[in-house]
Amino acid sequence: MGLIETSQNTMPRATDPLKLSQIVENGLCIGCGLCRSIAGRGDVEMVMTPEGRERPVARRALDKATLAKINAVCPGTRIAGPPAAQVRESRLADTVWGPVERLVLGRAAEPTARFIGSGGGTLTALGQFLLNSGRVKFVLHVAASQSMPMRTQRRLSFDAASVLEGAGSRYGPAATLVDFNDILDRGEPFALIAKPCDITAVRDLARLDRRVDEHMRYALAFVCGGASDLTKSEQVLQRFGLSEDELKLFRYRGHGNPGLNRIETHDGRAFEISYRQLWEDEDKWMIQPRCKICPDAIGQVADIAVSDAWLNGGPAAEDEPLNGIIVRTKRGLELFDAAVEAGALEIKRESGIDEISELQSHQVRKRRAAWARLKGMAIAGKPVPFVTDLALRECALQNSPAENLAEGRGARDRARRGRLGEPPAVPRETVLGDP
């Protein structure tokens, strides 16, 4: 069984790597797809499960060496924070928020990117700037599936127009790294825009495959509220009496801040609900189990992490397009400064830890709770990720003993009842147009 960090990070690792089925059924999988890239398409298949999650299924028994490599990079079995040297040398190192070179409120300068993108369009603008300036050959990100627009697929964008087409938040499952080895085989400089856990996986892979650092020039993350199941989106369809094969468009948000959840059908009908209506019932958010124990949803190992800038994490209505921009590395700072100088980004004002903690108070609570939640899972006899360099114990010390005890007991009890695990991964029945 994997173990969580101590202050010295000296606990031993398990000798036998977890199988894919064990990673999935213990609620540790986030469906990034990197395991399939490592094992190969013929040995691992990604399936959409009845629960609405993309999960790996081994087509044959994987050898121990392959499983060991998967366990070394899977963001459900190993989660490493930023290197100690980066933390020491950063302009600011906060217990909760990690290393920070600069923290501002800003947005895309170009109005179209700002309007179409989520929040303030910062990640869209950065992706476009990287391509227009020739710093990278392509950007790896995600976008709506053209055949099934409620679903999300990885995309390689080679020009700014393609990046813009993929703008806007995607809340369902996304296997961003499903063919990452093939992408490295291209031997071309690229940038990755992805969830923090995807970037964690790639940073772990860099320890085993030098091509990652040779070719991935920038890693940009959004501050993540959790990846929801596809069944959450299917509930929206049920509200309007629609089926997935009727869809021409399914936009989660964007075209404003946050913008409406908009659905269009092939026969010309359109439906809209607000962001608040989409997420009004917290008991039905349907966030994947791995997200509930996430120790780093704030992108500490990215070069730049971008957040919404809503008080307490939610919009009162349509707000001014604006992002919190957390520059984490020296490389990220050089990119940020160049993007501002080129007119791709604009700064509203400087910000700080107190403000981002207020705007993203739920992320602060999650960071402070992670240590106790992982302890509770371990006490229940469940495997947990091996976590290093994320100051989880120090974050937990910001809670009262009673708060940590409640978090730990809650996770222990949920784990014992199976609420932090998943059923075995099997493919759901396909529908018309299912990829």
Residue 195: pLDDT over 60: yes
Residue pLDDT, tens place only, 368-394: 999 999 999 999 999 999 999 999 999
Q: Quote the mean pLDDT of the chain.
A: 93
Indicate the angle between helix axes 361-379 and 401-416, nearest 10 degrees: 60
**3-state DSSP of the chain:** CCCCCCCCCCCCCCCCCCCHHHHHHCCCCCCCCHHHHHHCCCCEEEEECCCCCEEEEECCCCCHHHHHHHHHHCCCCEEECCCHHHHHHCCEEECCCEEECEEEEEEECCHHHHHHCCCCCHHHHHHHHHHHCCCCCEEEEEEECCCCCCCEEEEEECCHHHHHHCCCCCCCCCCCCCCHHHHHHCCCCEEEEECHHHHHHHHHHHCCCCHHHHHEEEEEEECCCCCECHHHHHHHHHHHCCCHHHEEEEECCCCCCCCCEEEEECCCCEEEECHHHHCCCHHHCCECHHHHHCCCCCCCCCCEEEEECCHHHCCCCCCCCCEEEEECCHHHHHHHHHHHHCCCEEEEEECCHHHHHHHCHHHHHHHHHHHHHHHHHHHCCCCCCEEECCCHHHHHCCCCHHHHHHHHHHHHHHHHCCCCCCCCCCCCCCCCCCC
- Name which of 420, 34, 3 is nearest 192 in CA terms: 34
pLDDT at site 312: 64
Q: How crowded is residue 263: how many other Cβ atoms within 10 Å of its Cβ?
A: 24
- The mean pLDDT of 105-117, rounded to a whole number, is 96
**For the whole prediction, is pTM greater than 0.85?**
yes
- Give the confidence band of 72 by pLDDT, cuts at 50, 70, 90: very high
**What is each CA distance from 332 to 283, 296, 301, 369, 421, in whole angstroms?**
37, 18, 11, 28, 36
Structural domains present in the chain:
91-229+284-362 (3.40.640)
**Pairing of β 270-273 and β 304-308:** unpaired
What pLDDT, in 10s, does the model give residues 232-265?
999 999 999 999 999 999 999 999 999 999 999 9
